[in-house]
């Protein structure tokens, strides 16, 4: 093996002894989304020094495919799994738990068991950072358009948003807090509702960069200049954020690193090694400042 240049870690050696040498990557949304793809890249990077193989599976699978997956489990074809957007209600998570197969959840959708491992971003800090940045520009009427309200990342980002406002002595207006899924269409619809308020905000913190596309569309249709009459800050730092017009200021979410860390934790579990914590949060670095925010008080009228 050494002559062939293989660098096998302890987990990989353990997997070879009566195990399949395979882990599953289970995602609760489209595999063609940038969000899922970046986490997947992190999983792949963590597996490169090993001989462990990865199998992709979507948790939106048909019943027939779910049965095929269960069959793989019963045949010992899965040594562990990285799950994205799962909670304790997940059929896949329940099945893994029942069979005693190790798993790690990335960005959990809801509640997990006390011993279930998860990796996520510091969403509270990210929400606070985004809101503080808008406050530093002089904004006082700041909207928040977030993801699904029962998602922990949404709850944490909203909590960070509220904390930043309260710390700055800015009243929290419930009418300015809206929820949608993480896609552009619903964000567009919610943004149109925000723009219909008697007193519009001068800035908005948006829960994902994809939602920002819907926000852009609503502002464009209403003839509201960005950033001249409305500041926008997103969350994710997607590659297209610098290519939209105008470019998007956004909070970086370390998706690749989340996938990498989750996989390394999983390999430790499979190898029977201890882990230091069951809840891992990776820092959201300072916002990627581009050109999409203006200083309040220097407002332009809608074009």
Q: What is residue 27's predicted lDDT score, i.e. its pLDDT?
A: 84
Task: Tell me what pLDDT residue 59 has.
Answer: 60
Q: Do 150 and 60 have their domain in common?
A: no
Residues 248 and 268 occupy one common structural domain: no
Whole-angstrom distance, CA of residue 68 vs CA of residue 14 = 26
Mean pLDDT of the chain: 86
Q: Which of 211, 230, 252 is the last residue of a domain?
A: 252
CA angle 245, 250, 253 (to 5 degrees): 135
Same domain? For 80 and 183 the reply is no
pLDDT in tens, 97-124: 999 999 999 999 888 989 999 999 999 9
Residue 117 parent element (H or E): strand 117-121
Integer Cα distance of 251 and 254 in angstroms:
10
Q: Are residues 163 and 54 in the same domain?
A: no
pLDDT digits (tens, 9 = 90+) for 31-87: 667 888 999 999 999 999 999 999 987 766 566 777 778 888 888 889 999 999 777
User: Do 106 and 188 share a domain, yes or no?
Assistant: no
Question: 142 and 60 in one domain?
Answer: no
Domain that residue 211 falls in: 123-252
What pLDDT, on a 0 to 100 scale, did the predictor assign at position 5? 34
DSSP state of 172: P
What average pLDDT does the segment 133-146 reach?
Answer: 97
pLDDT, tens digit, for every residue of 145-201? 999 999 999 999 999 999 999 999 999 999 999 999 988 999 999 999 999 999 999
Q: Is the preceding omega at residue 102 within 30 degrees of 0, hence cis?
A: no
Query: Rounded to whole angstroms, what are the CA distances from 109 to 103, 163, 222, 234?
Result: 15, 22, 34, 20
Report yes or no on 292 lying in a domain: no
Both 82 and 224 in a single domain? Answer: no
Q: In the structure encoding, which two tokens stand for residue 139, read together? A: 């904004």
Q: Are residues 200 and 270 in the same domain?
A: no
CATH number of residue 248's parent domain:
3.40.50.2300
Phi, psi at 2, each rounded to 5°: -60, -35
Pair 232, 128 in one domain: yes
Instruction: Examine residue 138 and state whether it is found in any structural domain, yes or no.
Output: yes
Closest to 255 (Cα-Cα) out of 117, 106, 64, 96 = 106
Regarding whether 107 and 20 lie in a shared domain, the answer is yes
Tokens of 33: 């989304």
The reported pLDDT for the residue numbered 4 is 32
Phi and psi torsions of 252, nearest 5°: -80, 125
Identify whether 299 is part of a domain.
no
β partners of residue 178: 145
117: left (phi over 0), alpha (psi -120 to 50) or beta: beta
Which of 252, 273, 295 is the endpoint of a domain?
252
Q: Based on the fold, state whether residues 186 and 243 are members of the same structural domain.
A: yes
Number of domains in the chain: 2
Asked if 209 and 241 touch (Cβ cutoff 8 Å), the reply is yes
How far is 231 from 292, CA to CA, in rounded Å?
Answer: 6
Helix, strand, coil percentages in the chain from 3-state DSSP, rounded to 5: 40, 15, 40
Write out the E strands in 141-289. Answer: 142-146, 177-179, 203-206, 231-236, 249-252, 279-282
State whether 63 and 132 are in the same domain.
no
């Amino acid at each position: 093996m050494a002559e062939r240049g293989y660098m096998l870690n302890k987990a990989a050696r353990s997997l070879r002894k009566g195990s399949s040498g395979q882990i599953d990557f289970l995602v609760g949304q489209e595999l063609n989304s940038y969000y899922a793809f970046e986490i997947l890249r992190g999983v792949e990077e963590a597996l490169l020094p090993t001989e462990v193989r990865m199998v992709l599976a979507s948790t939106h699978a048909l019943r027939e495919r779910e049965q095929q997956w269960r069959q793989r489990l019963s045949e010992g074809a899965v040594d562990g799994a990285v799950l994205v957007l799962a909670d304790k209600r997940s059929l896949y998570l329940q099945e893994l738990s029942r069979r005693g197969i190790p798993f790690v959840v990335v960005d959990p959708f809801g509640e997990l068991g006390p011993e279930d491992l998860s990796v996520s971003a510091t969403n509270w800090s990210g929400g606070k950072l985004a809101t503080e940045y808008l406050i530093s520009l002089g904004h006082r009427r700041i909207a928040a358009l977030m993801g699904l309200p029962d998602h922990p990342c949404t709850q944490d980002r909203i909590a960070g948003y509220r904390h930043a406002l309260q710390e700055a002595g800015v009243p929290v207006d419930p009418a300015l807090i809206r929820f949608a899924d993480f896609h552009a269409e619903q964000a567009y619809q919610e943004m149109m509702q925000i723009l219909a308020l008697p007193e519009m905000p001068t800035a908005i913190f948006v829960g994902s960069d994809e939602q920002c596309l819907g926000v852009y569309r609503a502002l464009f249709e209403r003839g509201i200049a960005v950033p001249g009459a409305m500041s926008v800050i997103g969350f994710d730092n997607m590659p297209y954020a610098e290519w939209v017009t105008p470019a998007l200021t956004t909070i970086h979410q370390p998706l690749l690193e989340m996938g990498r860390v989750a996989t390394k934790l999983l390999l430790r579990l499979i190898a029977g090694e201890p882990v230091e914590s069951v809840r891992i949060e990776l820092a959201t670095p300072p916002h990627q400042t581009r050109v999409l925010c203006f200083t309040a008080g220097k407002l332009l009228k809608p074009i």
